[in-house]
Structure 1
Amino acid sequence: MRQATVCIHKQALQHNFQRVKQLVPTAKVVCMVKANAYGIGVQPAIEAFDEADAFGVACLDEALEIRKLGNQKPITLIEGVFSQNEMAIAVAEKIECIVHHQQQLDWLYNYKEQYQQAGLKVWVKLNSGMNRLGFKVPEIIDVIQQLKSDGFHCVLAMHFANADVPDHPMNQHQISQLLQVKAACMPIEVSCCNSAAIFNYPELHFDYVRPGIMLYGASPFEDRSAQDLGVQPAMQFNAAIIAINQIKAGEFVGYGSRYKAPKDMTIAVVSIGYGDGYPRAFVKDNFVAIEGQLVPVVGRVSMDMITIDVTDIAAQVTIDTPVELWGKTRLVDDVATANGTIGYELLCRLTNRPKRIIE
C-alpha cells in the first residue's frame, strides 16, 4: 500500500485553541474553519474546538457541513449569502451573515422578522482600505444606524490587510476608521483581529476575535515561527521511501534533467508529489525530514514522486523508511517559504489521495 498519510493531531488543535484563550481572556473566539478547516478537516477541527464561542466559514455549504455534523454553535458567513434563497436557508439553520453590499441588505430585510426571531446577529463589514468587501465610511455608519433602529443586533467587522507587519502605515489608517465608526455607532460589538492581530494588537481584541492559521499550528508571520508563537503543528504530512538509487557524478535526476549530481550520490525516491498537494515550483532549496534530520529534495517534483539526497545518511534508510514532508521537524511554513508562498496555501491545497489519520 502506498504510504502517503496526513496525520491530524487533535491534541495540538486543542492546545492551539487554549493558546488563543490565553492571549484573549475576555473576547469571544470565532474559530475559522473555512476551506475544510484549512485542510485539517472540519470534523476533527470542530471537535477539538468544542469550547469555541462560534465558527467562521466562507460560504453556506461550509456552514451546512457543520450543521450536518450535529453542531449547533453559532456560525458566521464571512462573505455573507450569495442569493435570497441562501438567506432563507441561513435563517432556517440559524447561521449569521456578514453584509457588505446593498443587495445583501435587501435580502436581509426580506427575512427581517425571521432573522430577528432566530436571535441572529448581523455582521456589518467595513471596507477600511483593503478594498475587497464592505461599506466605506460614512456609508457604513448610516447602514449600521438604520439596522439598529430596525431592531437588528449588529457587529462591526473589519479585516486587516497587513496585521502581520505591525509598523505598516495601512494599519493605523484602518484602525482610525474602525474607531471612528465604532464611536459613531455606540453601543456596538466589534471584531477585527485575525491570528496576526491577536498577537500584535491586544488593545483591539474587543468583543470577538477570529483566529485562523494559528489554530492549525502555523504562523501568520514571516519572521516568527509557530514555536515562537507557542502553537503546535496540527498536521503531520508523511510518505515513505519506495526506491534507492546509486548515481555517478554528472548524472541527472528528474524531469527536465535540471539536477546534475555534483558527486557520486545515493538518491531515494519518495511516494509523494503534486498530485497529493505537495508543491512543485520551489524557488529556494527545499528539505524533508528523516528521523529528525533535514534531507535535501533534488530534481523536480513529479505528480507522484520526489527524489531526495540521502548520501549522508545512506546507512539509516531503506525501502519504507518514513519521510516527513512537513510537520514537527520540517515546518509547513518553511516548506512554503521555499515554495514562494505561505503555509495557508499548502495546508488548503492538499488532495484527498493521502490517507487521513486522526489522532
Structure 2
Amino acid sequence: MRQATVYIDSEALQYNLNRVKQLAPTAKIVSMVKANAYGHGVKDCLAALADSDAFGVACLEEALEIRNLGFQQPITLIEGIFSADEMQIVIDQRIEIVVHHQQQLNWLRAHKDAYIAKDLKVWVKLNSGMNRLGFKVPEIIEVIHQLKAEGLTCVLAMHFANADADNHPLNEQQKNQFLQVKEACAPVLASCCNSAAIFKWPELNFDFVRPGIMLYGASPFADKTVHDLDLKPVMTFSAEVIALNTIQAGESVGYGSTFVADQAMKLAIVSIGYGDGYPRAFPKQNYVAINGQQTRVIGRVAMDMIAIDATGLNLTLGTEVELWGKNRLVDDVAEANGTIGYELLCRLSARPARKLK
C-alpha cells in the first residue's frame, strides 16, 4: 500500500493552546478551526482543543460539522451568515455571528428575540483599513449603540492586515480606530488579536483572542521560527522511498530534464507529489528530512513522485521521508516555494492517510 501519511500530534496541539493561555491569561480563547483546522482535520484536532472557550469558523457548514462531532462550545462565524435562511439554523445550534454589512443586520433583527433568548453575542466587524469586511467609523459606533439598545450583547471585532510586520503604519491606524470605537461604545466586549498580534501586543488581548496558525505550530512571522516562539509543529507529512537509482554525470532527472547531474549520484524516489498537495513550483532549492538530516529535492515535483539526493545516505526501500514536520519546518518549505505555511497546510489533498500520534 502506498505510504503517504499526515500525522497529527495532539500533545503538540495542546502545548500550543497552552502557549496562548500563557500569552493571553485574562482573555477567552476562540480557537480558529476553519478550513478543516488549517488542513489538519477538524475531527482529529477538536479533542486536543477542547479547553478552548470557543471555536471560530468561516461558514455555517464548518460550524455544523463541529456540532455534529458533539462539541458544544460557542462557535463564531467570522464571515457571518450568507443568506436569510441560515439565521434560524445558527440560533437553533447556538452559533454566534459576525455582522459586517446592513443586510446581515436586517436578518439578525428579524430574529432578534430568539437570538437574545439563546444568550448569543453578536460580533460587529470594524473595517479599520484592511478593506475586506466591516463597517467604518462612525457607522459602526451607531450600529453598536443601536444593537445594545435592542438588548443584544456586542463584541467589537477587527482583523489586522499587517500584524506580522514591524513598524507598518497601518498597524497604528488600525489600533487607534479600534480603541476609538471601543471607547465610544463602552461598555463593549472586544477582540482584535490574531496569532501575530497575541505575541506582539498583549495590551490588546482584551476579552477574546483568536489564535489560528500558532495553534498548529507554524509561525505567523517571516523572521521568527516556531522554535523562536516556543511552539511545536503539529503536523508531520511523510512518505516512503519506493525506488533507488544511480545516475552518472550528464544524466537528467524528471519532467523537463531540469536537473542534470554533474557527477555520479544516488537517487531515491519518494511516493509523494502535487496530487497529494505537495507543492510543485520551487523558485528556491527545497529539502526533505531523513532521520533528522536534510537532503535536497532534485528535478521537478510530479503528480505522484519526487526525487531526492540520496548520495551518502543509508536508505532502503520503505525509508520514511519527512516532507515537513519537526525537522523540516513547513514554513521553510513554504518559503522555498514562494508562499506561506498556511497555504501548504490548507491545500493538502485527501490522498494521504491521516493518523493521530
TM-score range, shorter chain: over 0.9
- Spell out structure 1 runs of 4+ moving beyond 2 A: none
Partner of 1:220: 220
- Secondary structure of the residue that 1:84 maps to in structure 2? coil
What is the distance in 2 between the residues matched to 1:75 and 1:342? 27
Q: CA deviation at 1:45?
A: 1.6
- Secondary structure of the residue that 1:14 maps to in structure 2? helix
Partner of 1:111: 111
Alignment of 1:37-52 (within 5 A): 37-52=37-52
Partner of 2:268: 268
- Secondary structure of the residue that 2:192 maps to in structure 1? strand
* Larger CA deviation: 217-226 vs 38-47: 38-47
Q: CA deviation at 1:344?
A: 0.4
Alignment of 1:312-351 (within 5 A): 312-313=312-313, 316-351=314-349
What is the distance in 1 between the residues matched to 2:53 and 2:95? 13
How many residues are treated as equivalent by the alignment?
Answer: 357
What is the distance in 2 between the residues matched to 1:209 and 1:283? 36
Give me the TM-score of the superposition, normalised by structure 2: 0.99
What is the distance in 2 between the residues matched to 1:155 and 1:139? 15
What is the distance in 2 between the residues matched to 1:350 and 1:291? 23
Contact 1:166 1:200 in 2 (8 A): no
Q: Deviations over 1:297-320 (max 9, x none)?
A: 00000000000011131xx10111
What is the distance in 2 between the residues matched to 1:242 and 1:221? 36
Alignment of 1:11-30 (within 5 A): 11-30=11-30
Partner of 2:258: 258
Q: Deviations over 1:110-137 (max 9, x none)?
A: 1001100000000000000000000000
- Secondary structure of the residue that 1:347 maps to in structure 2? helix
Partner of 1:7: 7
Contact 1:20 1:211 in 2 (8 A): yes
Q: Percent identity?
A: 66
Q: Deviations over 1:129-172 (max 9, x none)?
A: 00000000010001000000111100000000000113111100
Are positions 1:178 and 2:178 aligned together?
A: yes
Q: CA deviation at 1:75?
A: 0.2
Counterpart residue type for residue 72 of structure 2: Q
What is the distance in 1 between the residues matched to 2:156 and 2:272? 44
Q: CA deviation at 1:44?
A: 2.3
Partner of 2:125: 125
Q: Deviations over 1:9-33 (max 9, x none)?
A: 0000000000100111100000000
Partner of 2:98: 98
* Superposed CA RMSD: 0.6
Counterpart residue type for residue 355 of structure 2: I
What is the distance in 1 between the residues matched to 2:164 and 2:49? 24
Counterpart residue type for residue 267 of structure 1: L
What is the distance in 2 between the residues matched to 1:337 and 1:106? 44
- Secondary structure of the residue that 1:131 maps to in structure 2? coil
Q: Deviations over 1:24-74 (max 9, x none)?
A: 110000000000000111122211011110000000000000000111100
What is the distance in 2 between the residues matched to 1:212 and 1:191? 14
Contact 1:273 1:302 in 2 (8 A): yes
Give me the TM-score of the superposition, normalised by structure 1: 0.99
What is the distance in 2 between the residues matched to 1:52 and 1:265? 51
Partner of 1:166: 166
What is the distance in 1 between the residues matched to 2:146 and 2:68? 34
Q: Deviations over 1:191-224 (max 9, x none)?
A: 0000000001111000000000000000000010
Q: Deviations over 1:261-307 (max 9, x none)?
A: 11111111000000000000011100000111001000000000000
What is the distance in 1 between the residues matched to 2:71 and 2:5? 27
What is the distance in 2 between the residues matched to 1:309 and 1:262? 13
Long gaps (5+) in structure 2: none
- Secondary structure of the residue that 2:240 maps to in structure 1? strand
Counterpart residue type for residue 80 of structure 1: G
Partner of 1:355: 353
Counterpart residue type for residue 34 of structure 1: K
